[in-house]
Amino acid sequence: MGTILLVCTGNICRSPMAYGFLSQLLRERGVSSIRLESAGTHSWDDSPATPEAVRALQERGIDISDHLAQRLNRSLIEEADLVLGMAGDHRDAATRIVPSAAERTFTLKEFVQLLEPGDDRPEAAPAADPEHRLRAAVEYAAATRADPARRGFTDEDVADPLGLGIEAFRAAAWELGELCQRMANAVFGPAGARSEPQPAAAPQTQTQTQNRTVGARGKGRSSRMNDYAASWQALRATDPEVAGAIAAELHRERSTLRLIASENYASPAVLAALASTMNNKYAEGYPGRRYYGGCEFVDVTETLAIDRAKQVFGAEHANVQPHAGAQANLAVYGAFLTPNDPAQKVLGLALPHGGHLTHGSPVNVSGKWFSFVAYEVDPETELIDMDRVRDLALQERPKMILAGFTAYPRVIDFKGFRDIADEVGAILMVDAAHFIGLVAGGAYPSPVPYADVVTFTTHKTLRGPRGAMILSREEHAKAIDKAVFPMMQGGPLEHCIAAKAVCLKEAMEPEFREYAERTVRTARALAAGLQEEGLRPVSGGTDSHLALIDLRPFDDELTGADVEAVCDEVGIALNKNAIPFDPRPPLRPSGIRVGTPGPSTLGMDEPEMKEVARIMGDVLRRPRDRAVKDRARQAVADLMNRFPAYPG
């Protein structure tokens, strides 16, 4: 009889759940000669499993309601052939009690990773008894762990869900279920392998055969999948309504001047990666450490994205999995901050002064869960006053300082923020979502040498797919990766990650540097042109891809909502935006935000931006004049014909 001992802290959540999963998996494999035990390093004997643990496993068809806890002791460890802690602390506690058990004591996640298929792992004979297979697996894992040539694991723990609610227990149950499944397969072999012949498939109709694009086998199929599966013709035939909306959006992008600072034109290569069959792949985990098989090719593209991000930005670590900027920011908060702890403060730029919703707005989860203190721009210069930021930091003693913007047109003093963070012992985070493409092209200072962590989106100035990334110093890599998965997200969007790899390759080309420099140049030209028309650029201009425009000197009654609407009528897309110390409400603010990444991608330069400023000035002076708007609409159409989006 072989014995596996599962260990956690209280023996009331993680180890009982693992016990439940392994019990079921052993039954499925007909294994009766392996005994399971579980214990806690700090448990009270006879304590029941938590209600959340019981519920999480009941939802998966497993009953642990009769579980009673026991305290970890020498006898349990000495009798076990394999000791599996749920975290490194549990493994270490077991080896402190019985040092001689070290070679058969692991964390569950460590043990599973050590057993991953390798060229040097001998296959156990199919007829070998379960006890023999268990001992062989333990010997192999111990030898592999002792090999200095093997890479160490940075993530060995199953996160403790205790006190975090049912969703945390469900996440822990999912992770434990996956790990136990992989362990059972590796040690005892898969369950339920079928040997009987399968029934023949029902005959296919001609229509079914024509529409079948994936999984076709044998003779008689009407089409063949080669290297690429997406098909515009198939979409148009299958769903003409969706195809029509997509075609209309392409026409809109070809005919509308895009001045929204957070938008751009992804290349056809990026769009092709997005439409690839990598959309179909589940790949929880990270390259080389997945919870699913069949990840060899998504590992290639994700590794390329990671390596290219580190190369382009000079970063020590990169996580390319965040689905969006909001998730990236929340993952960073989760890595360094404790929710609802008022002592752990974060300094961030106020939303009306150019910050973002995820920088502590009370309507956003960042403001609901974490304690943000806002700094503002100077009322006179409309620039960030670093002396005031320092004074506020010394007063509040924040755990984190956040630099970055969504509507601040000037260069940020990253070194100044670093000095302040060092003075108060704070983590420095930079949200570079808007300007990261300019950094890649050398047209804006890089925050990477100064920040502990940098988050950014990939679809703005970087011209990639909708998504985000996190760069960090190596010392924070483990915390960041665990915060992205499994804390914030499940399966990564591997088709998006492939597209991120493509856009990073494009960012390495000389043309990208020209684009980045042109983006800043055109933003300055547009701001200057609008100033000549009577509008006021906030802070007097811009150093980046965007300009924030105060409408009040032009017309005190005009709102950003009015300008957004009338510009939309003539084919110019921009957005209303609050300005610092704005007396108006957010939906009818005193300003607009304009940006030039889109026009710059199309090749427009300073003369075209001067032309755009004149068009806008004419329309804003006479917003109800049909003839003026007709001329403006035609001028925009001519401009877009000269600089076409997605020509052909």
C-beta atoms surrounding 381 within 10 Å: 11
Of the candidates 155, 157, 175, 284, the residue annotated as catalytic is 284
Euclidean distance between CA atoms 44 and 436, whole angstroms = 52
Euclidean distance between CA atoms 79 and 611, whole angstroms = 83
Question: DSSP label at 71?
Answer: B
Q: For this structure, is 457 an active site residue? A: yes
Of the candidates 156, 431, 550, 564, the residue annotated as catalytic is 431
> Between β-strands 591-595 and 546-550, what pairing exists: parallel, antiparallel or unpaired?
antiparallel
* Helix (H), strand (E) at residue 549: strand 546-550
Q: For this structure, is 316 an active site residue? A: no
C-beta atoms surrounding 257 within 10 Å: 25
Of the candidates 212, 282, 292, 555, the residue annotated as catalytic is 282
Of 23, 25, 32, 66, the residue nearest 47 (C-alpha): 66
Of 610, 630, 609, the residue nearest 619 (C-alpha): 630
Token pair in block for residue 283: 């790949």
Burial of residue 395 (CB within 10 Å: 0-12, 13-18, 19+) is exposed
Euclidean distance between CA atoms 420 and 188, whole angstroms = 56
What DSSP string runs through 602-641? TT--HHHHHHHHHHHHHHHHSTT-HHHHHHHHHHHHHHHH
Q: For this structure, is 515 an active site residue? A: no
Of the candidates 71, 212, 236, 466, the residue annotated as catalytic is 466
Q: For this structure, is 466 an active site residue? A: yes
Of the candidates 95, 455, 457, 461, the residue annotated as catalytic is 457
Euclidean distance between CA atoms 616 and 569, whole angstroms = 11
Given CA atoms 473, 478, 481, 482 in this order, what sign does their dihedral have?
A: negative
Euclidean distance between CA atoms 361 and 550, whole angstroms = 23
What DSSP string runs through 311-335? HHHT-SEEE---SSHHHHHHHHHHH
Q: For this structure, is 282 an active site residue? A: yes
Answer for the pair 444, 461: CB distance below 8 angstroms, yes or no: no
Cβ contacts of 110 within 8 Å, gap of 6 or more = 91, 145, 153, 156
| Cα–Cα separations (whole angstroms), residue 450 to 93, 211, 413, 446, 477 | 38, 54, 10, 8, 16
Of the candidates 308, 460, 482, 500, the residue annotated as catalytic is 460
Q: For this structure, is 205 an active site residue? A: no
What positions carry a catalytic annotation?
A: 282, 284, 431, 457, 460, 466
